[in-house]
Each structure stands twice: as structure tokens, then as C-alpha cells.
């Protein structure tokens, strides 16, 4: 038979409600009594029933972190997610809450995990680390009024969504303007991700910057399938761009390899700039010029915003913008 609250109360000579309040560290119970109750718990081997407490309490003090569907080895090892989850965990610890991660290989399995976590009251709500156009997880959260915050900008549910994000249009604009300032006019935007909103926003910033200068712009160059690599090689030889914008640092490494395989050097022949300023920027020479999105601040602020929305459900939903910083390294060369 397992030890119950009544057994502990009998051992100490107090009411079961006193033991229950001690578990919650209630200020109405004296420190002396709390110590006696805790010693009795240790002596009898009492283990609190967390599930039962969760059902009785309004909050379980746990935030669910929803990762995107991890469809490739490259995406699975992206340091952005590790950096941002580490920041969230540190902030959650300061706020005396914990985090629990939801991930799955398919959208349907991810939705099932999220539903189960919330239905069993294992989390108070969620922070989404991705944005996709047709997302059944987001539909579920909004429809069921589940508290959530998103890192990114949604395609819909603007009034129902609390967001923490960079200004991704400005990021794309900043990267393009930096290349223009270095004398480049033939610039192409390359990516291995066309689904998430941040790609579209950054590409729009690229287009806007070139339009302001009345310069030619190219369609985004997706480098996803083997056929696209051949098309990219042909593009380099025919159009002769002097600079490429890469969607993130991890992809920039692959891009530099592809440029080298096509017979060009970075930055001597083609300059490269990317986003995130992750560990990948300094793995190999030339070090990659990148725009720091401040992933640590994104994660910290997302936790703060989620807890605000959770405790104040009538609070207006906000979009909090985290500033970025250009980090100049070795992959952008000034040309005449």
C-alpha cells in the first residue's frame, strides 16, 4: 500500500489539510510544522501524486515547446533550436516553471502529441518555434483557446496570436543593403526552406532593397533537390552574380561548397551573407558574414510573453520585435 497524506498527518499529529498546504509551501503553515511534516514524509517514504495535484491546481507550471516537423537530418541538427531552447530553459528556471518539448516526424503525430499533453494537463500551454501556412497544430490551439505564444509571425489568427520575432523583412533588407554598400549589384537569394514565413519575409526585404535602387532582382533560388543544384551551376555561369544571400548559416556552408564545386571562390569571386550568427559561421575559413537574430533574447522573451498571456488572458496580444546585428566576417568582399 502506498503512503497517503492521511498517513503523514497521523504521524505528525496534524490535519490532512496541513500536510496538503505544506506541499504547496502555503504561508499559513509555520516553518516548524512544515519541517515536521517533511521529516515525516521522508520517514514514511511519501511521494506526492503529481498528476492528482495538477488536476486540482489551476496551473501545472510547465510550458510545452513545439518544434517543427523534423523532416531532414540537416534541420534536426540546426543549432538555432538548441540555442533558443537553452535560453527558454534558463528563463523558465528563473520564473520557477519547467519546459517540456513536443516533436514528431509528421504533422499528424505532432498534433496528437500536443493534444495529449494539453488534455492530460501536463502543460499550461505552448510556445511554437515555427510558422507554417497551413498548420493543423495552430488551428487546434486557436479553436480550443489553448494559451500559446509563437516565435515568428503567423499567416492568420493575427488578433489571437502573441508573437515574438525579428523584423525579417528588415533582416533581408539589411543583408542586401550591406552587399550593395560593398559594391555588389547582381545579388541572388538562395534557400532550402520555402515553407516558413521568415523565408518569405526575408526575400521580400531583399526585393524591396533592390527595387529602391532600381536594380535587377532574381527569383529566389531554391536549392533542395539534386536538379536544383544543376540549375544553380548553370545560373552562376550564365548570370554571373557577385553575391549570394543564404537563408541561414548552416545552409551557407553548403552554398559555399556548391560555389566552390562550380569553379568559383568565396569571397574572391562570389560573396556570401547569411542569418543567425550561429556556431557554423566560424567552423571553417572563410568565416561567414551573418546577421545575428539574437536567439537567446527570442527564447527568453517568448517565455516572459507566454506567462503574461497565461496569467492575464484578457491582455492584448502583442508582437514583440527583437533587434538584430550585422556581424562582419570574411565572406563578403568589397568590389569596385
Judged on CB neighbours under 10 Å (0-12, 13-18, 19+), 3 is: middle
Alpha helices by DSSP H, listed for 1-135, are 5-12, 16-23, 31-44, 50-56, 73-76, 79-94, 107-119
Considering the domain boundaries, does residue 231 fall inside one? yes
Rounded to whole angstroms, how far apart are CA atoms 266 and 73?
26
The total number of structural domains in the chain stands at 3
Please check whether residues 133 and 81 belong to one and the same domain: yes
> Which range marks the domain in which residue 201 is found?
168-292
Please check whether residues 207 and 307 belong to one and the same domain: no
Please check whether residues 248 and 315 belong to one and the same domain: no
Question: Sheet holding 162-165: strands in order across?
Answer: 98-102, 62-66, 125-128, 148-151, 162-165, 319-321
CATH number at residue 230: 3.40.50.2300
pLDDT tens digit at each of 336 positions of the chain: 578 889 999 999 999 889 888 887 788 889 899 989 989 988 888 877 655 555 556 789 999 999 998 765 556 677 889 999 999 999 999 999 999 999 999 999 999 999 999 998 999 999 999 998 889 999 999 999 999 999 999 999 999 999 999 999 999 999 999 999 999 999 999 999 887 889 999 999 999 999 999 999 999 999 988 888 899 999 999 999 999 999 999 999 999 999 999 999 999 999 999 999 999 999 899 999 999 999 999 999 999 999 999 988 888 899 999 999 999 999 999 997
> Residue 55's closest CA among 147, 121, 130, 117?
121
Considering the domain boundaries, does residue 143 fall inside one? yes
pLDDT at 78: 78
Residue 330 sits at φ, ψ, to 5 deg, of -120, 0
Rounded to whole angstroms, how far apart are CA atoms 269 and 263?
9
pLDDT at 197: 86
Please check whether residues 13 and 110 belong to one and the same domain: no
Please check whether residues 102 and 11 belong to one and the same domain: no
Please check whether residues 111 and 160 belong to one and the same domain: yes
pLDDT at 3: 83
Please check whether residues 137 and 172 belong to one and the same domain: no
Please check whether residues 278 and 183 belong to one and the same domain: yes
Please check whether residues 142 and 38 belong to one and the same domain: no
Amino acid at each position: 500500500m502506498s503512503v497517503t497524506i492521511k498517513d503523514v498527518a497521523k504521524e505528525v499529529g496534524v490535519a490532512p489539510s496541513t500536510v496538503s498546504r505544506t506541499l504547496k509551501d502555503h504561508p499559513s503553515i509555520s516553518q516548524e510544522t512544515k519541517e515536521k511534516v517533511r521529516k515525516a514524509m521522508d520517514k514514511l517514504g511519501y511521494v506526492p501524486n503529481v498528476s492528482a495535484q495538477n488536476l486540482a491546481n489551476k496551473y501545472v507550471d510547465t510550458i510545452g515547446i513545439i518544434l517543427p516537423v523534423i523532416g531532414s537530418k540537416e534541420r534536426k541538427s540546426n543549432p538555432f533550436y538548441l540555442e533558443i531552447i537553452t535560453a527558454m530553459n534558463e528563463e523558465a528556471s528563473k520564473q520557477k516553471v519547467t519546459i517540456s518539448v513536443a516533436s514528431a516526424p509528421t504533422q499528424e503525430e505532432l498534433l496528437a502529441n500536443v493534444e495529449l499533453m494539453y488534455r492530460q494537463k501536463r502543460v499550461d500551454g505552448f510556445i511554437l518555434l515555427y510558422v507554417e501556412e497551413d498548420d493543423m497544430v495552430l488551428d487546434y490551439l486557436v479553436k480550443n483557446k489553448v494559451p500559446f505564444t509563437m516565435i515568428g509571425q503567423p499567416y492568420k489568427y493575427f488578433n489571437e496570436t502573441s508573437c515574438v520575432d525579428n523584423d525579417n523583412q528588415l533582416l533581408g533588407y539589411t543583408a542586401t543593403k550591406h552587399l550593395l554598400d560593398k559594391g555588389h549589384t547582381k545579388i541572388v537569394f538562395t534557400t532550402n526552406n520555402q515553407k516558413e514565413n521568415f523565408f518569405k519575409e526575408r526575400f521580400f526585404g531583399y526585393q524591396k532593397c533592390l527595387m529602391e535602387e532600381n536594380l535587377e532582382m532574381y527569383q529566389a533560388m531554391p536549392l533542395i533537390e539534386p536538379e536544383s543544384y544543376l540549375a544553380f551551376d548553370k545560373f552562376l555561369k550564365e548570370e554571373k552574380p557577385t553575391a549570394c544571400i543564404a537563408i541561414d548559416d548552416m545552409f551557407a556552408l553548403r552554398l559555399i561548397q556548391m560555389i566552390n564545386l562550380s569553379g568559383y571562390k568565396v569571397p574572391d569571386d562570389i560573396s556570401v551573407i547569411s542569418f543567425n550568427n550561429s556556431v557554423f559561421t566560424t567552423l571553417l575559413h572563410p568565416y561567414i558574414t551573418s546577421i545575428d537574430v539574437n536567439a537567446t533574447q527570442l527564447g527568453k522573451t517568448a517565455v516572459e510573453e507566454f506567462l503574461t498571456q497565461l496569467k492575464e488572458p484578457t491582455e492584448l496580444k502583442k508582437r514583440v520585435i527583437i533587434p538584430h546585428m550585422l556581424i562582419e566576417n570574411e565572406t563578403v568582399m568589397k568590389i569596385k
